[in-house]
Amino acid sequence: MTDLPRRHLGRARRASVPMVLLWLGTAVVVAWSLASAAPNSTPALTHSIPHPEASPGFAVPLPAYSVTPQSTGLSLAIRSSPSAICSEADPGCPAGTGTARVTLSADAIGGGDLTWPAVQIAFVLETTPYDGVYDSSPNGGEAGSDRCASPSYSGKILCEESNGVPYFASHAQAIADAIQQTNPHSQVSFALVDFFSTAGYPWDDGDGLPYHVDVRQFVPASEFGGAVTDSFQRQVLDGAGAYPDSDLSDNFLHSSSITALYGTITGSGLAWANDTHHVIVWIGSTAPRDTSYPENYCVSPHELATKFAGTACYGEMCEPAYGFPTGLSPRCEGWVHSSDGNSADSIAALAHHAPACIDSIGHVCTVDTIDLWNTPTDPGSVGWPVNRTDGGPNGPIVYENAVNILKAGCDLASATGGTWDGPTWYTCPDGTPGSLGPVFHGSSTNPTLSNPTLFSALSHVGFGPVVDQEAAGPTARPMFLFVPFGNIRVAANPQATAACTRGGAPLPSCQQNASILHLGDLVTLGWNFSTNATLDRMYVGDLWTASFNVVAAGPPYATVPIDACITSTCAVAGSGSAFGTYTSASFVPDVNDSATTISFPVATVLVELAVSPTGTTTLPPPPPPFPTSTLAAPPAIPVLQSVASAAANTIGVANISLQAAAGGFLSAGFTRVVVRNREVAMRIAARVGPMSRYDRPTSEQTTGVGRFE
pLDDT digits (tens, 9 = 90+) for 437-450: 999 999 888 899 99
Residue 589: the pLDDT is 82
Q: What is the CATH number of domain 62-111+471-613?
A: 2.60.40
pLDDT digits (tens, 9 = 90+) for 585-605: 999 886 666 889 999 999 999
Dist CA 334 CA 627 (whole Å): 89
Residue 630: the pLDDT is 37
Q: Which residues of 380-527 form beta strands (DSSP E)?
A: 420-421, 470-473, 480-482, 488-490, 497-502, 505-506, 515-519, 522-527
Q: Which of 242-256, 515-529, 603-617, 673-687 has the lowest mean pLDDT?
A: 673-687
Instruction: Give the pLDDT band of residue 683 (cuts 50, 70, 90).
Output: very low
Q: Rounded mean pLDDT of 297-306?
A: 95
Q: Rounded mean pLDDT of 266-292?
A: 96
Instruction: Give the pLDDT band of residue 275 (cuts 50, 70, 90).
Output: confident
Residue 253: the pLDDT is 98
Contacts of residue 593, Cβ cutoff 8 Å, sequence gap at least 6: none
Q: Residue 661 above 90 pLDDT? A: no
Residue 677: the pLDDT is 35
Instruction: Give the pLDDT band of residue 572 (cuts 50, 70, 90).
Output: very high
Residue 699: the pLDDT is 43
Mean pLDDT of the chain: 79
User: CB neighbours (10 Å) of residue 626?
Assistant: 15
Q: Which of 23-32, 138-147, 170-179, 298-307 has the lowest mean pLDDT?
A: 23-32
Q: Which of 146-150, 500-504, 632-636, 645-649 has the lowest mean pLDDT?
A: 645-649
Contacts of residue 23, Cβ cutoff 8 Å, sequence gap at least 6: 634, 635, 637
Q: Residue 421 above 50 pLDDT? A: yes
Dist CA 426 CA 133 (whole Å): 24
pLDDT digits (tens, 9 = 90+) for 326-349: 899 999 999 999 988 888 899 999
* Segments in 508-576 forming alpha helices (H): 568-573
pTM: 0.57
More confident residue, 113 or 212: 212
CB 299 within 8 A of CB 359: no
CB 111 within 8 A of CB 590: yes
Residue 183: the pLDDT is 87
Domain ranges of the chain: 1-56+620-688, 62-111+471-613, 119-459
More confident residue, 388 or 207: 388
Q: Rounded mean pLDDT of 366-386?
A: 97
Residue 62: the pLDDT is 36
More confident residue, 89 or 175: 175
SS3 at position 230: helix
Residue 184 backbone phi and psi in degrees, to 5: -65, -20
Q: Rounded mean pLDDT of 300-311?
A: 89
SS3 at position 175: helix
Q: Which residues of 330-393 form beta strands (DSSP E)?
A: 365-371
Residue 103: the pLDDT is 97
Residues in the chain: 709
Maximum CA extent, the chain: 164
Q: Rounded mean pLDDT of 672-689?
A: 40
Closest CA relative to residue 147, chosen from 399, 392, 440: 392
